């Protein structure tokens, strides 16, 4: 049985005061709510304060990226150990915005997720096709490459320690959600790939999140699909009410 996970990706939004307000609101709304893993991924500069606020709560903390080297002369970068040290349990890897604006590749995704695993962080590895790729009927080919290269040499033991997020790029921040059927089709494709690459039991345990304009109004239908195990939520996770409704609607 896979426990649902609802993760908020707060991107480059919210200063410290805004983060504190949002976290306290979520704590109030989601107090004692279990059955779903709840995750907040604020920006780096507020992680330490967020950790303190979340200490006595059911909301976990994650970062939005990391750099794969352990330490050294890499100005501006943040290591897996630093993210762990500040209290994160999760880290998003290979978000399409990183791929689009910061030249992230499947190879860098692989290095980053290995660095995360070394520090016992749970990587949320993002895959997804662009609109052009979908229109050219290349969706599964693209996803397969992202999985094969991004998860290259990840052992069966380690695949159980990560989460995969299917995020069609055309649905992120656009208000266009994949239909539950479109999401399920690709989630099943991902799970089948896991079955072929690892084995049935292993594949059945890996959580696959959907991301792309998840809202209170569509979470229930998405979660009805057998291979949708939760959501990676951008815009709608920035408000206490909508994020809480998505969490509550996911079970
Ligand atoms: C995201 O950034 O991962 C995302 C899915 O954003 P949104 O929910 O705003 O589409």
With cut-offs at 50, 70 and 90, classify the pLDDT of residue 190: very high
Q: Are 41 and 97 in contact (CB under 8 A)?
A: no
Q: What confidence score (pLDDT) does residue 170 get?
A: 95
167 has catalytic annotation? yes
Cβ partners under 8 Å of residue 227, min gap 6? 184, 187, 188, 190, 191, 208
Cβ(213) to ligand 1 under 6 A?
yes
Give the mutation target among 212, 219, 230 for probing the ligand 1 site: most ligand atoms within 8 A of CB.
212
Q: Where are the domains of the chain?
A: 5-249
Tokens matching residue 33: 């709510």
Q: What is the pLDDT of residue 85?
A: 98
Helix locations, 2-93, DSSP H: 16-30, 47-54, 80-85
- The CB of 8 under 6 Å from ligand 1? The reply is no
Looking at residue 176, what is its pLDDT? 86
Mean of pLDDT over the chain: 97
pLDDT score at 205:
98
**pLDDT over 90 at 212, yes or no:** yes
The response to whether residue 113 sits with its C-beta less than 6 Å from ligand 1 reads: no
pTM: 0.98
Q: At 177, is the pLDDT very low, low, confident or very high (cuts 50, 70, 90)?
A: confident
Percent of the chain with pLDDT over 70: 100
- Tell me: the pLDDT tens digits for 10-45? 999 999 999 999 999 999 999 989 999 999 999 999
Q: How far is the CA of 96 from the centre of ligand 1 (A)?
A: 10
Using DSSP's 3-state secondary structure scheme, residue 208 falls into strand
CATH C-level class of 5-249: alpha beta
Read off the pLDDT of residues 105-158 as tens digits, 9 standing for 90 and up. Answer: 999 999 999 999 999 999 999 999 999 999 999 999 999 999 999 999 999 999
């Amino acid at each position: 049985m896979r426990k649902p996970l609802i993760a908020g990706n707060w991107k480059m939004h919210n200063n410290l005061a805004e983060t504190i307000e949002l976290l306290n609101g979520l704590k109030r709304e989601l107090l004692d709510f279990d059955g779903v893993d709840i995750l907040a991924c604020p920006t780096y500069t507020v992680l330490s304060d967020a950790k303190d606020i979340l200490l006595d709560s059911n909301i976990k903390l994650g970062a939005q990226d990391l750099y794969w080297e352990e330490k050294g002369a890499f100005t501006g970068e943040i290591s897996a150990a630093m993210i762990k040290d500040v209290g994160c349990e999760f880290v998003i890897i290979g978000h399409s915005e990183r791929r689009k604006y910061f030249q992230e590749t499947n190879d860098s995704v692989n290095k980053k997720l290995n660095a995360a695993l070394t520090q016992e962080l749970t990587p949320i590895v993002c895959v997804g096709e662009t609109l052009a790729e979908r229109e050219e009927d290349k969706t599964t080919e693209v996803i397969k490459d992202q999985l094969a290269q991004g998860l290259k040499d990840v052992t069966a033991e380690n695949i159980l320690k990560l989460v995969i997020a299917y995020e069609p790029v055309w649905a992120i921040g656009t208000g266009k959600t994949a239909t539950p059927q479109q999401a399920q089709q690709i989630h099943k494709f991902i799970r089948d790939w896991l079955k072929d690459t690892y084995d049935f039991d292993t594949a059945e345990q890996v959580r696959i999140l959907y991301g792309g304009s998840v809202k209170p109004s569509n979470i229930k239908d998405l979660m009805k699909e057998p291979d949708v195990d939760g959501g990676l939520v951008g815009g709608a996770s920035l408000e206490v009410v909508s994020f809480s409704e998505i969490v509550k609607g996911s079970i």
